[in-house]
């Protein structure tokens, strides 16, 4: 990508993020229920509630609240949780490793399982293997991730006792522990993405095989190893990368319910609790972070795309 194109994209990304900040802030002002009421507890007097509202700065004009929030973000300060008084950035940093671990392992599982399955199916179109892969992929896309997680917990954790049923163990406390805790949620989360990738990879490979020059090469006796190395992978990689970009948001969203089923204290749990408690600052931080991740992933995808495809780079 040329520098100007890159700058345009970056600028576009920033505009998107700014719009997201505006939208979330506006949306959350419409929320009924007052966080001061909850902080005050069950038996507080109205005067006490008003006192707390002032302490939290909830009585200031909206524009002031938005500008001070936005100004804080630019200094890396996302505000403080209404309930714990914890800096939002800390809460997010604490929750992020669990969710990012699950999401990336899910992505890894999806790529390692989905792409080869799709490529093989595409190469042997019409074979029983192809049919099996296609069927599994179709079913995989239709399964709710949280249901898969429930089934895996029931079978692998509760019935067979092979894996811990719940929680998250930081990488720092041992890779084995870490992996055993995220194996179930990551598998459940990655399944649909694996299926999606397999379908796309299969379609692309099949598409490449249809091209006249490949047919000619095959007729001349070119081996399938040559074919895969020189033509199929390059052509298949582009749409696969594109799909990965589209999946970033889906994975983050899917993680919300799966984290709940698997008892993982990640970003999803943080977000749900923030919604239930009307903890505006946490929710705003979460939404902004999710949007930032998606924007960055898509910038990366754009970059990878042009790197993989010289034609785009030249244009």
Partner 1 sequence: MTTTSAPGPVTGHAPEPAAAAPRRRTLRLLLRRPSTVVAVGFLLLLVLLAVLAPWISPHDPFAQDLADRFAPYSADHLLGTDDLGRDVASRLLYAIKLALLAPLISVGVALALGVPTGLWAGLSRGVVDAVLSRVADALLSLPGLAFALAIIAVVGPGLANVMVALGIVFAPSLFRVVRGAAMAVAEEPFIDSARSIGSPTSRVLWVHVLPNVSAPLLVQATILMGLALLSEAGLSFLGLGVQPPEASWGSMLRTAYENQFEAPLSVLPPGIAVVVTVLAFNTLGDAIRDAMTARGRR
Partner 2 sequence: MRSPLSRLLAVVATVVLAVTAAACSSSGPESGSGEKARLTIGAAAVPSSLDPRKSAPYEAQWIGMLYDTLVQRTPDGGFAPALAESWTLSPDARTLELTLRPGVTFQDGAPFDAAAVKANLDAARAGGTNFSGQLTNIASVEATDARHVTIALTDSGAPMLGVLAGEAGMIISPASLGEDLSRRSAGAGPYTLDRFEGQRLALTAWPGYWNAGALGVGGVDIDVFIDDSARLRALRSGQLDTAFIIPSQVREVGDSGLELLRPKTAESFWGVLVNTGRKEFGNPLVRQAMMLALDRPAIARAVFGEGGCTPSAQPFDANDWAHSPELDSLPAAQYDPARARQLLAQAGLAGGFDFELQVGTAQNYTQIGQILQAQWGEIGIRVNLRPMENVQFVTARRQGDFDGTVSVYLNARPDQSAFVKNFYLPGGIFNPGKYDLPGTAELLSTSSSGADPASRAPAMHQLMVNALNDGPPIMPICTAPRLAASQRGVRDLDMTLETKFTDVAVDPK
Which residues of this chain interact with partner 2, rule CB under 8 A?
32-35, 37-45, 48, 51, 81, 83-86, 90-91, 93-94, 96-97, 100-101, 104, 107-108, 111, 115, 157, 164-167, 170-173, 178, 229, 233-234, 237-238, 240-241, 260, 262-263, 265, 269, 273, 275-278, 300, 304, 307-308
**Under the criterion CB under 8 A, does residue 247 sit at the interface with partner 1?**
yes
Stretch that binds partner 1, among 55-63, 111-119, 147-155, 228-236 (CB under 8 A): 147-155
Q: Given candidates 228, 275, 300, 301, which one binds partner 1 under the rule CB under 8 A?
A: 275
CA 200 to mean position of chain CA atoms: 19
User: How many CA atoms within 13 Å lie on the side-chain side of 257?
Assistant: 13
Q: Given candidates 5, 6, 28, 100, which one binds partner 1 under the rule CB under 8 A?
A: 28
Q: How distant, in Å, are the alpha carbons of 27, 54, 75, 278, 280 from that of 30?
A: 6, 19, 27, 11, 11
Stretch that binds partner 1, among 13-21, 53-61, 170-178, 213-221 (CB under 8 A): 13-21
Q: How far is it, in rounded angstroms, from Cα 192 to Cα 140?
A: 5
**Under the criterion CB under 8 A, does residue 5 sit at the interface with partner 1?**
no
Other Cβ atoms within 10 Å of 6 Cβ, number: 14
**By C-beta, is 123 or 153 nearer to partner 1?**
153
Q: Where are the alpha helices (DSSP H) in the chain?
A: 3-29, 35-40, 46-55, 62-74, 88-109, 115-123, 128-142, 145-152, 175-210, 212-219, 224-227, 233-262, 267-277, 280-308, 310-314
Q: How distant, in Å, are the alpha carbons of 25, 193, 251, 284 from that of 303?
A: 31, 21, 21, 28
For partner 1, the binding residues (CB under 8 A) are 12, 15-17, 19-20, 23-24, 27-28, 30-32, 138-139, 141-144, 146-147, 150-151, 153-154, 158-159, 192, 196, 242-243, 246-247, 249-250, 252-254, 256-257, 260-261, 271-272, 275, 278, 283, 286-287, 290-291, 294-295, 298
């Amino acid at each position: 990508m040329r520098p100007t194109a890159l700058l345009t994209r970056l600028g576009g990304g920033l505009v998107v993020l700014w719009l997201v900040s505006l939208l979330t802030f506006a949306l959350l002002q419409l929320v009924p229920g007052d966080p001061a009421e909850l902080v005050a507890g069950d038996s507080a007097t109205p005067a006490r509630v008003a006192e707390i509202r002032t302490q939290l700065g909830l009585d200031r004009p909206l524009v002031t609240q938005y500008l001070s929030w936005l100004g804080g973000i630019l200094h890396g300060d996302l505000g403080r949780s209404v309930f714990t008084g914890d800096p939002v950035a800390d809460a997010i940093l604490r929750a992020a490793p669990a969710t990012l671990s699950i999401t990336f392992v899910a992505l890894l599982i999806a790529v390692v399982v989905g792409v080869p399955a799709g490529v093989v199916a595409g190469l042997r179109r019409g074979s029983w293997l192809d049919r099996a892969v296609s069927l599994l992929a179709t079913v995989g896309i239709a399964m709710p991730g949280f249901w898969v997680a429930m089934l895996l917990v029931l079978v692998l954790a509760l019935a067979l006792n092979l894996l811990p049923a719940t929680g998250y163990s930081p990488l720092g406390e041992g890779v084995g522990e870490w992996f055993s805790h995220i194996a179930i949620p990551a598998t459940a989360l990655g399944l649909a993405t694996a299926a999606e990738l397999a379908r796309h990879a299969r379609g692309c490979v099949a598409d490449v095989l249809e091209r006249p020059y490949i047919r000619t090469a095959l007729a001349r006796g070119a081996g399938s190893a040559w074919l895969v190395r020189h033509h199929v992978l390059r052509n298949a990689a582009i749409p696969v990368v594109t799909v990965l970009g589209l999946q970033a948001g889906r994975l983050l969203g899917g993680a919300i319910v799966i984290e709940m089923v698997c008892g993982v204290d990640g970003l999803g749990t943080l977000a749900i609790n923030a919604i239930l408690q009307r903890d505006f600052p946490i929710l705003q931080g979460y939404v902004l972070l999710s949007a930032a991740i998606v924007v960055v992933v898509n910038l990366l995808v754009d970059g990878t795309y042009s790197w993989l495809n010289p034609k785009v780079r030249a244009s």
